[in-house]
Amino acid sequence: MIKNFIKLGVAFFTIAFFQTCKEEIKVPADSFTVSGTIEGLDTEYMSRSYRDAEGNRVSDSIFVENGSFSYTAKIDQPTFIFFWPNVESTMKRTETGYYPVKSSQLAFLASPGDHIVFNGKVTDYINAYPSGTKANEDLASINSKVFPLMNTSINYLLEKGKLEKNDPRQSVLEDSIKHLDEKVVALKKEFVLSNPNSEAAVWYLSDMMLRNQVSDYDAVTAYNAFSDNLKTYPFYKAVTKRVAGIKSTKIGNTVANFSTNNTFTGDSFEFNSLRGKYVLIDFWGTWCGPCIAEMPKVKEYQEKYKDKLVVLGVNQGDTKEQVEKFITPNNYTWTHLMNGNGDDDFVLKFNVAGFPTKFIIDPEGKILYRFVGDSEESFTVLDGLLE
């Protein structure tokens, strides 16, 4: 009986100890903590990849035991973060790779001092959502609506990829995918427009603008409705720059002069130094297949019209080492800016929402054309202007 009493006392102490620890979790002011227990999270670890203060890619492992995890990391400003769960059932694999769909990720917004908690389950996608802060509860309210639709859409896409091209089911699946994708965008747009006080809505608007999922009119309308309390939020500042970019990069506007040292070579650059020639601004990245495919044509036109045309590249998402390995062997030696932060965020400055994006600027600095995606038309236009 005494032994049983001791066992009972130890058990009670253990439960009380963990309850006390759970209640008294204190997150350092320069960090965030995310924890949770998710049914079906059958993995030893999850993965997080991000860039450090020096721009280097860093990977972290979030260890999991019996579906439970806890992870703490330093952070200096509000950040959107996602974990890859490494659960095979959530991987949308093709014969050549996989689709990095958001419904296969644990997604949350972290600010210094936050403790975010995940609950839910894993099936063939991550049906688990964050809580613990208002931003994450708002994020959960929209993600819990759109993630199941995203998952179904990507499953249809995988099914479509297994069919022969002349299979009549191709068109049925295409229509279904289109319908689901349009519904996802409509739900996100409704969420943004209906939540003017929400940090999650600001983040979603910035993401939708990046992906060209919202019209300029709707983006500006939502932005103008946001509460003044959000003005210090980093994603609000990003949207502010994009909205300014919408206005400043309209066809017919003159590109405002800017200078930067954030170039591939480290040399200083001033935009007005290009005055007197036509300018082709090319936003690109080595990760962008259409960007890479068009580079030889960009080089051809630089050489074809070398007395009339100058090319300005703007790289997004690569390190200088990655850029060098690509441009040096191919002799793509025109000026390349490295997209950065603040005044050096040229993607926001020019409101670029797809890659590649090209601008054609006249010798006085006026914007004549804007092309998004791989576009033979941009080169046809150059021929018309320069021949």
What string of H, E and C letters represents the secondary structure of 155-179? HHHHHHHCCCCCCCHHHHHHHHHHH
pLDDT of residue 24: 57
**Same domain as 26, residue 152:** yes
Whether residue 254 is contained in a domain is answered as no
**Same domain as 143, residue 33:** yes
pLDDT of residue 22: 45
Domain boundary at 128, 162, 196, which?
A: 162
Cα separation, 285 vs 315, in Å, equals 5
Whether residue 253 is contained in a domain is answered as no
Which parts of the chain have pLDDT scores under 50?
1-23
Instruction: Find out whether 43 and 64 touch, Cβ atoms under 8 Å.
Output: yes
pTM to 2 decimals? 0.81
pLDDT of residue 63: 97
Structure tokens at 305: 């019209």
pLDDT of residue 353: 83
pLDDT of residue 272: 96
pLDDT of residue 54: 67
Neighbour-count burial of 57, counting CB atoms closer than 10 A to its CB (0-12 exposed, 13-18 middle, 19+ buried):
exposed
pLDDT of residue 11: 41
Pairing of strands 115-122, 31-39: parallel
- 289-304 helix and 376-386 helix, angle to the nearest 10 degrees: 10
**Same domain as 22, residue 125:** yes
Q: Is 161 left (phi over 0), alpha (psi -120 to 50) or beta?
A: alpha
**Same domain as 9, residue 147:** yes
Cα separation, 296 vs 249, in Å, equals 26
Domain boundary at 118, 134, 162, which?
A: 162
State which residues form the domain around 119. 2-162
Domain boundary at 182, 217, 248, which?
A: 248
Structure tokens at 359: 């601008």
